[in-house]
Amino acid sequence: MTDVLRIVPGGLTTVATHELMTFLAGYFSREPVDIVVIGLPTNMNGQESASMKQIRPFVEKFRKAYPDKQVVMFDERFTSVLAQRAILDSGIGKMARRNKALVDEVSATIILQSYMDSIQYKI
């Protein structure tokens, strides 16, 4: 998520896949959201990775449930590595760095920042 002015991205939380639509319904009822950025898993050659088989059905379900929300798929290559490095650089302990939920949250923030950076230069 970002601040109201769409300047600073921040982590929200990590949600189990089976709880995601319920979580989003609650979040959208409380917060104004018009764009949703979803990580696009790709291989080094730029082709979609195998995990798109699970992501594509979610994106279709999401678009049907929220036709008023713009969905943007954005490259997520290297975000886990960058997230782990950012966590390490922040001084967080070794056990916390192994926390997949924390890595996922930081990765999502990096994806959103990268997306925001990409549109900044297109305006």
Q: What is the pLDDT of residue 91?
A: 78
Whether 113 is in a domain gets the answer: yes
pTM of the model: 0.80
Q: What is the pLDDT of residue 67?
A: 97
39, 72: one domain = yes
CA dihedral 5→10→16→22, nearest 10 degrees, is -20
User: Tokens standing for 5?
Assistant: 């002015």
Whether 46 is in a domain gets the answer: yes
DSSP state of 6: S
One-letter identity of residue 44: M
Q: What is the pLDDT of residue 50?
A: 82
Mean pLDDT by 10 residues, the chain (123 residues): 88 90 97 93 81 91 97 83 77 73 86 88 55
92, 67: one domain = no
User: Tokens standing for 99?
Assistant: 């926390």
Whether 101 is in a domain gets the answer: yes
Rounded to whole angstroms, how far apart are CA atoms 12 and 115?
Answer: 17
Number of domains making up the chain: 2
Domain holding 111, by residue range, is: 78-123
Q: What is the pLDDT of residue 41?
A: 84
63, 73: one domain = yes
